[in-house]
Amino acid sequence: MTIQHSATACLARAPLFSSLDLETLISLVPASKHRQLFPRGSFIKQPFDNNDGMFVLDQGSAKVYSVSDTGKEKILYMMKPGDITGQETLFSVRKTDYFIEALEDSYVCSVSHRAFQQLLQKSPALCLKLLNTFGDKLVAVEQNSIRRDTLLAKDRVLSYLKDKLDSSTSSTFQLPVKKKELASFLGLSPETLSRQLKALQKDGEITVSGRNITFTTPRY
Amino acid sequence: MTIQHSATACLARAPLFSSLDLETLISLVPASKHRQLFPRGSFIKQPFDNNDGMFVLDQGSAKVYSVSDTGKEKILYMMKPGDITGQETLFSVRKTDYFIEALEDSYVCSVSHRAFQQLLQKSPALCLKLLNTFGDKLVAVEQNSIRRDTLLAKDRVLSYLKDKLDSSTSSTFQLPVKKKELASFLGLSPETLSRQLKALQKDGEITVSGRNITFTTPRY
DNA sequence: TTGCCTTCTTGAGATAGATCAATTTTTTAA
DNA sequence: TTAAAAAATTGATCTATCTCAAGAAGGCAA
pLDDT tens readout for residues B191-204? 999 999 999 999 99
Residue B122 pLDDT > 90, yes or no?
no
Whole-number pLDDT of residue A169: 92
Rounded distance in angstroms from the CA atom of residue A11 to the C1' atom of nucleotide D29: 64
pLDDT digits (tens, 9 = 90+) for B44-54: 998 877 666 88
Q: What is the CATH number of domain A7-124?
A: 2.60.120.10
pLDDT digits (tens, 9 = 90+) for B128-141: 888 888 888 999 99
Residue B41, sorted as left (phi over 0), alpha (psi -120 to 50) or beta, turns out to be: left
CB B117 within 8 A of CB B53: no
- Across all strands, nucleotide nearest A190 (CA–C1'): D8
Whole-number pLDDT of residue A158: 98
Tell me the nearest-neighbour CA distance from B1 into chain A, angstroms.
Answer: 34
Please report which confidence band the pLDDT of residue A93 belongs to, taking 50, 70 and 90 as the band edges: low
Whole-number pLDDT of residue A3: 43
Whole-number pLDDT of residue B3: 44
Whole-number pLDDT of residue B1: 42
Residue B19 pLDDT > 90, yes or no?
no
Residue A194 pLDDT > 70, yes or no?
yes
Whole-number pLDDT of residue A172: 95
Cα–Cα distances (Å) from B188 to B47, B54, B175, B185, in that order, read 24, 30, 16, 8
Whole-number pLDDT of residue A140: 93
Q: Where in chain A is the domain with CATH 1.10.10.10?
A: 151-215
Residue to substitute from A91, A123, A134, interface B, most B β-carbons within 10 A = A134
Identify the CA nearest to A39 among candidates A11, A60, A55, A54: A60
Mean pLDDT throughout B150-175?
Answer: 95
Strands A212-215, A206-209: parallel, antiparallel or unpaired by DSSP? antiparallel
Whole-number pLDDT of residue B120: 85
Whole-number pLDDT of residue A86: 76
A3 or A80, higher pLDDT: A80
B114 touches strand C (CB under 7 A): no
If one counts every other C-beta atom within 10 angstroms of the C-beta of residue B2, the result is 6
Q: Which nucleotides in chain C lie less than 7 Å from some protein C-beta? A: 7-12, 16-21, 26-27, 29
Q: Where in chain B is the domain with CATH 2.60.120.10?
A: 7-124
Of A73, A127, A142, Cβ closest to residue B131 = A127
Dist CA B30 CA B158 (whole Å): 46
Q: Look up the CATH architecture of domain A151-215.
A: Orthogonal Bundle (1.10)
Per-residue HEC secondary structure of chain B comes to CCCCCCCCHHHHHCCCCCCCCHHHHHHHHHHEEEEEEECCCCEEECCCCCCCEEEEEEECCEEEEEECCCCCEEEEEEECCCCEECHHHCCCCCCCCCEEEECCCEEEEEEEHHHHHHHHHHCHHHHHHHHHHHHHHHHHHHHHHHHHHHCCHHHHHHHHHHHHHHCCCCCEEECCCCHHHHHHHHCCCHHHHHHHHHHHHHCCCEEEECCEEEECCCCC
Would you call A146 and B76 a contact, using CB atoms and an 8 Å cutoff?
yes
Mean pLDDT throughout B102-120?
Answer: 88
Rounded distance in angstroms from the CA atom of residue B191 to the C1' atom of nucleotide D19: 10
Would you call B74 and A145 a contact, using CB atoms and an 8 Å cutoff?
yes
Mean pLDDT throughout A70-79?
Answer: 93
Tell me the nearest-neighbour CA distance from A32 into chain B, angstroms.
Answer: 21
Whole-number pLDDT of residue B196: 98
Strands B62-67, B53-59: parallel, antiparallel or unpaired by DSSP? unpaired
How large a percentage of chain B has pLDDT more than 70?
90
